[in-house]
Amino acid sequence: MSLTDKAIDEIRELIRTGVLPPGSKLPPEPDLAAQLGLSRNLAREAVKALAVARVLEVRRGDGTYVTSLQPSLLLEGLGGAVELLQGDSVALQDLMEVRRLLEPIATALAATRISDSQLAEVKRHLDAMREARDDVEQLNVHDAAFHRAVISATGNETLLTLLESISGRTLRARIWRGLVDDKAAGRTLAEHEAIFNALSTRDAALSQAAALLHVSNTEQSLRDQLSSGEPLPFGTTARK
In sequence order, the 6+-apart residues with CB closer than 8 A to the CB of 96 are 215, 218, 219, 222, 223
Q: Where are the domains of the chain?
A: 3-69, 74-235
Q: What is the pLDDT of residues 5-55, one digit of tens each?
A: 999 999 999 999 999 999 999 999 999 999 999 999 999 999 999 998 889
Fold of 74-235: Four Helix Bundle (Hemerythrin (Met), subunit A) (1.20.120)
Q: How far apart are CA 80 and CA 82, in angstroms?
A: 5
Exposed (0-12), middle (13-18) or buried (19+): which is 57, by Cβ within 10 Å?
middle
Q: How far apart are CA 129 and CA 214, in angstroms?
A: 15
> What CATH architecture is 3-69?
Orthogonal Bundle (1.10)
Q: What is the pLDDT of residues 167-201, one digit of tens each?
A: 765 566 667 766 776 677 888 899 999 999 999 99
Tell me the sheet residues that pair with 63.
59
Question: Alpha helices, DSSP H only, in 63-115?
Answer: 71-74, 76-84, 89-113
